């Protein structure tokens, strides 16, 4: 079974700092998709960024970027110039041929003023 | 605006009762999913459906049932067989398009057993 592991249950940084959230996954497939979702206190799940495994280039969305290491099965999220509104739970997720989205346990990120 | 509507936002269930959580989407998405979220455990898949009148069990289907009579609707029934139903329930949908561009989520239903 596919698994997703987020090894940092909680993280805390100062506003404007850069923070990196870690994620590793396990799969025997060669083509799949990876996502980072944000869940603020409202509990709405918001897609932050996505990566297709067959693409070598790391995805970037404004202040959010990923470091995708396919051989190491690693998919970390970097948030640059962090803002108070970035405070949320962040979930790494994975989907392959069965089209079932599998989530990690989440990292609670707090941005301090 | 297109999206997913989950209702009610809060639901209270007495011991032994069945309750049904509603999930409606107007995105013309093909697949729909139900997830359960408990504190510190991420999201776990309960059931999913890729076409009308067909659905598959997820990782924690025991004590739950679903139906998919219309493309837009995917209600979840929490039966009395579910021993610990207190949780946050999220519905999601996805179109069948080339590649996979993420899922759209509803705003959730908080179910509490009283």
Per-residue pLDDT tens digits for B45-87: 999 999 999 999 999 999 999 999 999 999 999 998 888 999 9
A80-to-A13, A63, A75 alpha-carbon distances in Å: 11, 5, 16
**Chains A and B: how many Cβ contacts under 8 Å?**
48
Report the alpha-carbon distance of residue B1 to residue A16 in Å, rounded: 34
Query: Could you give the 3-state DSSP secondary structure of residue A84?
Result: helix
**Closest partner CB to A95 (pick from B90, B100, B108):** B100
Q: Do A103 and B43 touch (CB under 8 A)?
A: yes
Task: Name the minimum distance, in Å, from the CA of B75 to any CA of chain A.
Answer: 18
Residue B59 has phi, psi (to 5 degrees) of -80, -20
Task: Name the minimum distance, in Å, from the CA of A9 to any CA of chain B.
Answer: 8
**Closest partner CB to B88 (pick from A33, A43, A103):** A43
A94-to-A25, A103, B21, B73 alpha-carbon distances in Å: 8, 7, 26, 25
Query: Is residue A92 over pLDDT 90?
Result: yes
**Closest partner CB to A52 (pick from B50, B88, B99):** B99
Q: Do A91 and B88 touch (CB under 8 A)?
A: no
Query: Is residue A93 over pLDDT 70?
Result: yes
Report the alpha-carbon distance of residue A33 to residue B89 in Å, rounded: 24
Burial label for B81, CB within 10 Å (0-12, 13-18, 19+), is exposed
Give B-chain residues touching A47 at CB under 8 angstroms: 102-103
DSSP state of A28: S
Per-residue pLDDT tens digits for B7-17: 999 999 888 89
Per-residue pLDDT tens digits for A56-90: 899 999 999 999 999 999 999 999 999 999 999 99
Full DSSP string of B35-69? EEE-TTS-EEEEEEEEETTEEEE-TT-TTEEE--S
Which residue, among A87, A91, A80, A90, has the nearest Cα to A111 in the 3D structure?
A: A87
**Closest partner CB to B41 (pick from A45, A95, A105):** A105
Residue B43 has phi, psi (to 5 degrees) of -110, 135
Q: Residue A1's pLDDT is what?
A: 65
Give A-chain residues touching B102 at CB under 8 angstroms: 35, 47, 50
């Amino acid at each position: 079974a596919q698994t997703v592991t987020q090894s940092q249950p909680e993280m805390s940084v100062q506003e404007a700092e850069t923070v990196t959230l870690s994620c590793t996954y396990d799969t025997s497939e060669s083509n799949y998709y990876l996502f980072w979702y944000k869940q603020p206190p409202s509990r709405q799940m918001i897609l932050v960024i996505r990566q297709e495994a067959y693409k070598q280039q790391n995805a970037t969305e404004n202040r959010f970027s990923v470091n995708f290491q396919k051989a190491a099965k690693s998919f970390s999220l970097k948030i640059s110039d962090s803002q108070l509104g970035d405070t949320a739970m962040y979930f790494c997720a994975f989907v392959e041929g069965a089209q079932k989205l599998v989530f990690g346990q989440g990292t609670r990120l707090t941005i301090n003023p | 605006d297109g999206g997913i509507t989950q209702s009610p936002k809060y639901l209270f269930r007495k011991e032994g009762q069945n309750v049904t959580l509603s999930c409606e989407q107007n995105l013309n998405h093909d697949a729909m999913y139900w997830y359960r979220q408990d504190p510190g455990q991420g999201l776990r898949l309960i059931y999913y459906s890729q076409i009308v009148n067909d659905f598959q069990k997820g990782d924690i289907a025991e004590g739950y049932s679903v139906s998919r009579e219309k493309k837009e609707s995917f209600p979840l029934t929490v039966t009395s067989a579910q021993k610990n139903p207190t949780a946050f329930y999220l519905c999601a949908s996805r179109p069948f398009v080339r590649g996979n561009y993420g899922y759209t989520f509803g705003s959730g239903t908080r179910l509490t057993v009283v």
